[in-house]
Structure 1
Amino acid sequence: MLNELDERIVHALAEDARRSFADIGQLVGLSAPAVKRRVDRLRATGAITGFTVRVDPAALGWRTEGFVEIYCRSQTSPDAIRQGLERYPEIASASTVTGEADALVQIFAADMRHFEQVLEKIAGESFVERTKSVLVLSPLLRRYTSGAPS
């Protein structure tokens, strides 16, 4: 569990992973070396798992977004679902969920035909009984930060 200071550091990094330790230190009231020590500790304990860049999928030509509910055949394990889906580069995220569906998958595709092709392939997986999909018209809110805002 992170303390309040660590949460503020993580939040600052989640907003901009390129932010300097000195800049973060000014935000949280620590020196740059103290921030670095805390970040190193957070990495060592696995609280911070890495640093990345966020890319707009449309910039890569992926302009169609949708969500697919997956209804699996009985006795399908979450690991089997993950293994069956991990080979699709179009899948941005996949999670097991509560409710009637067994999993929810977020897909980015170049266009409607591409989305349909991916959906057909997923529906053809041996563990899939049926799917239900919805397309995103306009993303209203996307949050990429972690922790409570300071």
Structure 2
Amino acid sequence: MDTFERGRDGRSTDLPSGGGVPTWMAQTLNFCSNCGGSLRFGEIDGEDRHRLSCPDCGHIAYVTPRLVVTAFPITDAGEIVLLRRGIEPGRGQWAQPGGFLEVDETVNQAAIRETREETGLLVEPGEIIGLYTRLEAAVVTLAFEAKIV
């Protein structure tokens, strides 16, 4: 199994040499859901990527990124509403409202909920303005333009 350096929060800051999921994310699972054996992170059958798998039964434990939904609320004057982050990562930095998609909501509902939680504003999500991948955080971010209602 590969060894990787860890950042301030204890998570790996490196990506596996073959690409794929960040090691810290893969290391969150320890045991096979199929047979209970110990999972290992590495190449499988000479593939050009690393995966988390069980050497006992061959089961691959797919670790997928989390979906973050953000909104850029726009005022009637055409200004974008931002907020200052109150928590890490990025405490004190400017950011758009957003957060993780819950399993019982659509991406539009998540944009509305997160904006309301973080700013108190009620918005109507509009056009998708971007889709971004952050491998080091194992997240995919979907960004909406949003009208304040």
TM-score of the alignment, normalized to the shorter chain, above 0.5: no
Greater strand share, structure number: 2
Query: Normalising by structure 1, what TM-score?
Result: 0.29
Q: Give the helix-richer structure, 1 or 2.
A: 1
Structure number with greater CO (CA < 8 Å, separation at least 6) is: 1
TM-score, length basis structure 2 = 0.29
